[in-house]
Amino acid sequence: MAKTAIEFTVNGESHKLEVFPMARLLDVLREQLHLTGTKEGCGEGECGACTVKLDGRIVNSCLVPVAQVNGASITTIEGVAQGDELHAVQQAFIDHGGAQCGICTPGMILAAVDLLERNPEPTEADIRNGLAGNLCRCTGYMKIFESVVRACQK
Amino acid sequence: MRAYVPGYQLQTPASLADALTLIGNEPGVWKPFAGGTDLMVLLEGGRLAHRNYVNLWPLAELRGIDVTDSHVTLGALTTYTEVQTHEVLRSEFPMLCQAASETGGLAIQNRGTLGGNIVNASPAADSPPALLAYDAEIELVSNRGARWLPYHGFHLGYKQMDMRPDELLTRIRLPRTTAGMTHYYRKVGTRKAQAISKVCLAATGRVENGLMTDVRVALGSVAPIVLRCKQTEDAIRGQALNGDTVHQARETLLREITPIDDVRSTASYRLRVAANLLVDFLVTARS
């Protein structure tokens, strides 16, 4: 079947692409735009490794067909830092051991950034809920949790 | 094995009218595609058999929550996130908000839609038991016209619905008659977040002069469809909430539901938990 033309913005940069409409946003980001910071874990919406922000809300990019992002604005992990200055959540993950193997980390950070944007002073329950859709197979949850708590204190 | 993506079509219509024309001209060829949180899972697993989809996501006509004196009406594309943050839904239809908050994680809740949850027709879906217990009605629209029907009765059998191939589910309507009711919703899964239910019960009721009225009991994951348990309701309605009533209700429920063994649980566990949830509902309603 035919490819279709779409336009969308990724990390502030606009792109025009020819895509198969049912291609996963995850694959388009990684393979066509070479933004390989977004990881694939389960590929079925369970693990959150492929989390990106789509028009201001986090989504699993493995579950979004690219035809649905026409005209949209996307932020990936590559767009979280301001130039050389890391986001407070990124810095906290480094300072407090929030990353182990690193596969879940981009998704965890995007979920945490999203949480703090919506709710700058989250309770512990809010943090757990905000990260509930992100799995860490290294099981480094306590360090991840601590990193987010520390990021809130900045 | 993953699907061959170029083999799929996802057509984006400019309006609801265009979508209806597309599916009306070739009934059965085009199926609706909303937030994708179920269909994309099948795609990735190479199990998405149907090839041609109409992309409903951009259609503004299918969004929004409208409140009148008598009803709350939700566009079919209302997401779980939108359900949870709506003030009237939170105060008058808390079971629907709870169901939305227990469906997947935030990233799923931002994409998954109420209409998709209904039409995907999984017997394990989280919001349909709440919709059944709230006596929801649904609107189906085609180029031939629109019809409202009670949600109860829409699911005819496993993945079978009272819906023609040229129809789209456009709106869901809830009557605002819940004041003073007990609302009891409980989903039992393997873990708190991101789990598909083993058993899910949504029930409402009101105690008037010591007797139960407005009893509605709906369960997920205990039958080929999400089930409104009318016989169990009959065993409770008009009764005092004493040990006899609880016993009768429990026995009736065990006869009314037909759970199976599958990857998520066993029939015997589901029977036991469903009965326990019903008892917990009745105890909650009494206190």
Whether residues A133 and B105 touch (CB distance < 8 A) is answered with yes
**Is A4 buried (19+), middle (13-18) or exposed (0-12) by CB count in 10 A?**
middle
- Chain A positions touching B33 (Cβ under 8 A) are 65
Instruction: Give the CATH H-level superfamily of domain A88-153.
Output: [2Fe-2S]-binding domain (1.10.150.120)
Is the pLDDT at B51 greater than 80, yes or no? yes
- Chain B positions touching A58 (Cβ under 8 A) are 106-107, 110
Cβ–Cβ < 8 Å for A63, B104: no
Domains of chain B: 5-55 (3.30.43), 60-175 (3.30.465.10), 182-286 (3.30.390.50)
Closest Cα in chain B, distance from residue A10 (Å):
18
Cβ–Cβ < 8 Å for B52, B31: yes
For range B14-41, the mean pLDDT: 97
Which stretches of B210-259 are assigned E, i.e. beta strand? 211-220, 227-228
Pull the structure tokens for residue B2.
Answer: 């993953």
B187: which DSSP letter?
A: E
Q: What share of chain B has pLDDT > 90, as a percent?
A: 96
Is the pLDDT at A141 greater than 90, yes or no? yes
Which architecture, in CATH terms, is A4-78?
Roll (3.10)
- Chain A positions touching B84 (Cβ under 8 A) are none
Q: Do domains A4-78 and A88-153 have the same CATH topology?
A: no
* ipTM score: 0.97
Amino acid at B109: Q
CA separation, residue A69 to residues A7, A29, A51, A131 (Å) = 8, 12, 14, 24
Which band of pLDDT confidence, cut at 50, 70 and 90, is reported for residue B102?
very high
Pull the structure tokens for residue B198.
Answer: 């083993």
Residue pointed to by tokens 């049912």: A22
Residue pointed to by tokens 């939305």: B100
Which band of pLDDT confidence, cut at 50, 70 and 90, is reported for residue B253?
very high
Is the pLDDT at B142 greater than 90, yes or no? yes
Cβ–Cβ < 8 Å for A47, A135: yes
Is the pLDDT at B256 greater than 90, yes or no? yes
Pull the structure tokens for residue B214.
Answer: 């407005």
With an 8 Å Cβ cutoff, the interface of chain A facing chain B consists of: 1, 20-24, 43-46, 48, 51, 54, 57-60, 62-65, 67-68, 70, 111, 114, 129-130, 132-135
Is the pLDDT at A154 greater than 80, yes or no? no
Among the partner residues A48, A59, A129, nearest to B111 by beta-carbon distance: A59
> pLDDT tens digits, residue range A25-84?
999 999 999 999 999 999 999 999 999 999 999 999 999 999 999 999 999 999 999 999
Closest Cα in chain B, distance from residue A91 (Å):
23
For range B269-273, the mean pLDDT: 97
- Going from N- to C-terminal start, the domains of chain A cover 4-78, 88-153
Q: Which of A63, A64, A108, A129 is most worth mutating to test chain B (most B CB atoms within 10 A of its CB)?
A: A63
CB pairs under 8 A between A and B: 98
Whether residues B6 and A1 touch (CB distance < 8 A) is answered with yes
Nearest CA in chain A to B109: A59
Which band of pLDDT confidence, cut at 50, 70 and 90, is reported for residue B2?
confident
Amino acid at B54: V
Residues 6 or more apart whose CB falls under 8 angstroms from that of B16 comprise: B59, B61, B62, B141, B168, B170
Strand pairing of B31-33 and B227-228?
A: unpaired
Is the pLDDT at B48 greater than 90, yes or no? yes
Is B42 part of the contact surface with chain A (CB cutoff 8 Å)? no
pLDDT at A17: 98
DSSP B178-208: -TT-EEEEEEE-SSSSS---SEEEEEEEEEE
Contacts 24+ apart (CB under 8 A), A111-115: A111/A48, A111/A51, A111/A58, A111/B106, A111/B107, A112/A147, A112/A148, A112/A151, A113/A80, A113/A87, A113/A89, A114/A53, A114/A57, A114/A58, A114/B106, A115/A148
- Chain B positions touching A44 (Cβ under 8 A) are 40-41, 44-45
Instruction: Name the CA radius of gyration of chain A, rounded.
Output: 15
Whether residues A133 and B5 touch (CB distance < 8 A) is answered with no
Whether residues B110 and A59 touch (CB distance < 8 A) is answered with yes
Which band of pLDDT confidence, cut at 50, 70 and 90, is reported for residue B77?
very high
Among the partner residues A1, A59, A114, nearest to B8 by beta-carbon distance: A1
